[in-house]
């Protein structure tokens, strides 16, 4: 019987997009049907090149990613491509959370497998939609900011939960409505519907990060708000700026005290 964390690592290292997404779906199916085991105790190591990614898109500075007018089909495609790239990286971050960190409860691993599966679904929806615009994933540039934070926090699961789902992905909750409205106003209602699906699921993904961050704080006898602020400084996390999607953040499990600090 295959083992979940080792299999997640192999999937993370896969560079072919179709193989990665089908591999994630197969892992989820195997887990749900009891056809794969889980070793939570072993600290895994790897000499595999991670994350596996295709030769394109070319990775550039965030300031160099193409920005085109939403009044053109190419401009809409560039925006959708940017979101598709985020979802591809999100598959990898979820897989990395599974294999890298030992000694967590079983539900931690099943939670992050669910995230990987849903991110792969989002990616497939967006990539299919790109093809209706006569392009595909890799036709525009992308940046690597999300994975850079994943790599920076690879030595501590607490830092990972604080700064990837609760910070980087929560920024996506804030950005969602303006992006969705731009696409709808440009007449791309199919893309807007996909964005609705993504928001629904991403609230759950941030909630998973919140749950495990607070669980780890309790395990280590740490106060969550001050710990989060300390980790943001230690890892030079991006500063969060308004406007915020407070409704989505509350649904994702941010406390009222955290909202007050956010708005201060």
pLDDT for res 56: 96
Q: What pLDDT is recorded for position 67? A: 72
| Average pLDDT along the chain | 95
Which domains occur in the chain, in start order? Answer: 2-263 (1.20.1260)
Give the whole-angstrom CA distance, residue 105 versus residue 115. Answer: 16
Cα 9 to chain centroid distance, Å, stands at: 16
Q: What is the pLDDT of residues 115-149, one digit of tens each?
A: 999 999 999 999 999 999 999 999 999 999 999 99
Phi, psi angles (nearest 5°) of residue 163: -105, -10
Q: What is the pLDDT of residue 108?
A: 98
CA 226 vs. chain centroid, Å, equals 24
- Percentage of residues in the chain with pLDDT exceeding 70? 100
Give me the mean pLDDT over the 29-58 stretch: 96
Q: Give the whole-angstrom CA distance, residue 31 versus residue 27.
A: 6
The answer to whether 2 and 11 have CB atoms below 8 angstroms apart is: no
The yes-or-no verdict on residue 157 having pLDDT over 80 is yes
Assess contact for 48 and 9: CB atoms under 8 A.
Answer: yes
Q: Determine contact, residues 213/166, Cβ cutoff 8 Å.
A: yes
Quick: pLDDT tens for 208-232: 999 999 999 999 999 999 999 999 9
Alpha helices for the chain (secondary structure H): 4-13, 17-32, 73-100, 106-132, 145-152, 157-163, 170-185, 189-219, 224-234, 246-251, 256-263
pLDDT at 145: 92
pLDDT confidence of residue 69: 75
Distance CA 75, CA 138 (A): 15
* Residue recorded with tokens 């491509």: 81
On the 0-12 / 13-18 / 19+ scale of CB atoms within 10 A, 45 is exposed
């Amino acid at each position: 019987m295959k083992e979940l964390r080792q299999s997640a690592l192999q999937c993370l290292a896969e560079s072919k997009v179709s193989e990665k997404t089908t591999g994630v779906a197969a892992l989820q199916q195997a887990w749900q049907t009891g056809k794969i085991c889980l070793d939570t105790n072993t600290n895994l190591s790897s000499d595999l090149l991670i994350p596996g990614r295709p030769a394109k898109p070319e990775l550039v500075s965030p300031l160099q990613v193409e920005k085109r007018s939403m009044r053109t089909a190419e401009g809409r495609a560039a925006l959708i491509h940017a979101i598709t790239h985020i979802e591809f990286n999100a598959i990898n971050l979820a897989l990395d959370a599974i294999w890298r960190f030992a000694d967590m409860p079983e539900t931690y691993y099943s939670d992050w497998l669910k995230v990987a599966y849903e991110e792969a679904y989002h990616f497939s929806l967006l990539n299919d939609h790109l093809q209706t615009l006569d392009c595909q994933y890799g036709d525009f540039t992308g940046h690597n900011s999300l994975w850079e934070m994943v790599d920076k926090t690879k030595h501590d699961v607490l830092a990972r939960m604080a700064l990837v789902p609760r910070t980087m992905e929560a920024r996506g909750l804030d950005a969602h409505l303006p992006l969705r409205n731009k696409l709808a106003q440009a007449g791309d209602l199919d893309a807007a519907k996909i964005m609705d699906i993504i928001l629904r699921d991403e609230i759950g993904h941030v909630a998973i990060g919140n749950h495990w961050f607070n669980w780890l704080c309790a395990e280590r006898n740490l106060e969550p708000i001050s710990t989060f602020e300390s980790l943001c400084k230690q890892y030079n996390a991006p500063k969060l700026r308004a406007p915020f999607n407070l409704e989505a953040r509350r649904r994702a499990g941010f406390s009222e005290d955290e909202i007050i600090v956010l708005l201060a």
